[in-house]
Structure 1
Amino acid sequence: MKEDKLDKTIVDILHKQTENTSSLKDETFKNIIGRIDEIEKGGNKMKRKSKVPKIASLIIVSLITITALIATTETGQAAIGKVRELLAPEKEIQQELEGQKEEINLELEEKMDYIIYIDKNYYYMESKGSIDKILPIGFPDDLPEVSMIIEQRENESPDQIANELMKSLTSKFEILERQDLAEPIPSVLVFGHGGSSWDSVIQRYYLVDNTKGGTFVITQTYFLEASEGHGVRFDNLLKEFKIIPSEED
């Protein structure tokens, strides 16, 4: 009951103060921090090993929604810090592969400007410079590449990058399409299909607005026979991708 009441309070604050941008910048974050502190002082401190509580999810979504305002004040940066403390290191999801439903456990990967949850029974992440790559564990060397790469491009919009890809990939794929998507993540998708053989290359470029004038480019690479396995798993991981501004922004 206590958390429900606090949830409602935060929703009311956000709704009221989004009508006034100037007050939103400081007062919203001060109130959010205050509500978190109330819970902690009341003995309901949220442990990182628990599932993300409803109130934590609400705050995270609220901050993501108003990302452009977060970095403009010290109070906003403090609110980001609080949100990061509330992120659960693990979560469970249900996915369907080849008609079979299964429960899987995902683990948090927290980067400078985003978070994503990964099934570490199947995948691991390696980072080189500004590029993060998700790869299958123990994948045979004699099979075509399977990977999901996450990188940022500054000062280029999703539309600009999509136009570039539609030109540069024309000769690489038999089928090349562009779509605007809401799922698995709001993005512009450029989709390339190499043919009908079992090992035909498939690439999916999810172009996500990074809210700062640039784009997260998320590139999935796999082959036709892996579409219902790795292709589905990658899309399920993308549903857990969230932009979280760094505290230094």
Structure 2
Amino acid sequence: MKKIDDKAKHALMKHTTPPEKMKDEIWNRLDNELFNEEIKPEKVHTMKLRILPALFAAAAVLLLVFSFGTDTGLALIDRIKELFEPEKQAVQSIEGTDEKNEVQLNEGKNAEYVIYIDEERYKMIKGAGDEPDVITTKEPLPEKFPEVSMTIEQVPDTAPDVLVGRIEEELKAEFPDLREVEQVEEPVAGYQLHGIANGGQAWDDPVVHAYVIRNGNGGSYVITERYFLEAAEGHGARFYAMLQEFHIVGAQE
């Protein structure tokens, strides 16, 4: 295997002509970080996990140089999205057991983010206008079950540290015992909110689990999971796994 992935490099550089010094510096740093040892077959999967964050870091530098709003910048974003596999196998820990599932790549509204979804169990409904995108069960649940969904909403021009207080107040109206806001790094980096209705006494008590994160353009994403207490280790764990594969494509920061 070559010391740098030619396809990935070509995808990022095809429609740009940066100064040679900067271009070389970016790719040399990627080269050193990702391929500073001999790649053995058993390390291929690990390598794939390492290369995407580094490619996005390189892309961020290039976008700052070439202006994200230009046709060139938009073409570059299209090529970054092409680097994601349309389908892959994911290992999820469900109720203490590792479970292998095929997950499919889905684009969010306006192609501003991508996320992998287990389409045997879930579907994405893209919001119209200002409505959020919704990921919910592929088949409707019986009426006795509370809502199971994950909404993804972008809030432009409001940073997470400002927006999280507003979201907290809104959720407290429905979940008076909402926990204090926490800052987390997994499955996404940002603010986390969590609450259970009725004190968590019954199997069907509604649960809310929300994140407020940077959108990379001076605003925020609000990701709100809803399920019920008994489903925390099922739907809750699967939503967590999905968010580990949530990638913002149109970030300028």
Judge same fold: TM > 0.5, yes or no. yes
SS of residue in 1 equivalent to 2:175: coil
SS of residue in 1 equivalent to 2:188: coil
Matched, 1:198 2:238: no
Partner of 1:213: 218
Give CA-to-partner distance per residue, 1:171-197, whole Å, 9 cap, x none: 422421211010011111121221222
1 CA distance for matches of 2:217 and 2:169?
Answer: 25
* TM-align CA RMSD: 3.5
SS of residue in 2 equivalent to 1:141: coil
Q: CA deviation at 1:142?
A: 2.4
Is the contact made by 1:208 and 1:217 (CA closer than 8 Å) also made in structure 2?
yes
Assess, with a 3 A threshold, how the Cα gap between structure 1 residues 176 and 56 changes in structure 2: closer, same or farther.
Answer: same
2 CA distance for matches of 1:136 and 1:182?
Answer: 26
Give CA-to-partner distance per residue, 1:158-183, whole Å, 9 cap, x none: 12221112223334224212110100
Is the contact made by 1:7 and 1:58 (CA closer than 8 Å) also made in structure 2?
no
Partner of 1:173: 175
Q: TM-score, normalised by structure 1?
A: 0.74
1 CA distance for matches of 2:60 and 2:188?
Answer: 14
Is the contact made by 1:56 and 1:83 (CA closer than 8 Å) also made in structure 2?
no
Q: TM-score, normalised by structure 2?
A: 0.73
Counting aligned pairs with the same residue, the percent is 34
Give CA-to-partner distance per residue, 1:93-131, whole Å, 9 cap, x none: 111111211111100002321000000011011112142
Give CA-to-partner distance per residue, 1:60-104, whole Å, 9 cap, x none: 432565587261665544332221222210111111111211111
2:147 to 134, 145, 148: 145
SS of residue in 2 equivalent to 1:128: coil
Matched, 1:162 2:164: yes
2 CA distance for matches of 1:217 and 1:58?
Answer: 22
Partner of 1:6: 4
